[in-house]
Amino acid sequence: MSSPRLEIIERYCKGCSICVEFCPTHVLEMDGFLATVVRPEACIGCMQCELRCPDFAIKVYKE
């Protein structure tokens, strides 16, 4: 089974960093006011980033 894939929808991201704070495996980091995926291989598919994002700027695809 492959790792989940994360998509950041940049036009929706307002840079609140909630996703970064709730990620248990530190997959995400802030780049200025934009969340970025820096360690995709560490994603466990918990979906905390997607569920906590107030602007629906993150999608987790479990392929």
CATH number at residue 10: 3.30.70.20
Q: What is the mean pLDDT of the chain?
A: 95
Residue 2: predicted pLDDT: 76
Nearest one of 56, 54, 29, 26 to 42, comparing CA atoms: 26
Displacement of CA 60 from its chain's centroid (Å): 8
Region 41-62 average pLDDT? 97
Residue partners of 4: CB distance under 8 A and separation at least 6 = 43, 44, 45, 60, 61, 62, 63
Domain extent for 30: 5-61
**Residue 53: how many other CB atoms lie within 10 Å:** 21
* Residues 24-38: tens digit of each pLDDT: 999 999 999 999 999
Q: How many domains does the chain have?
A: 1
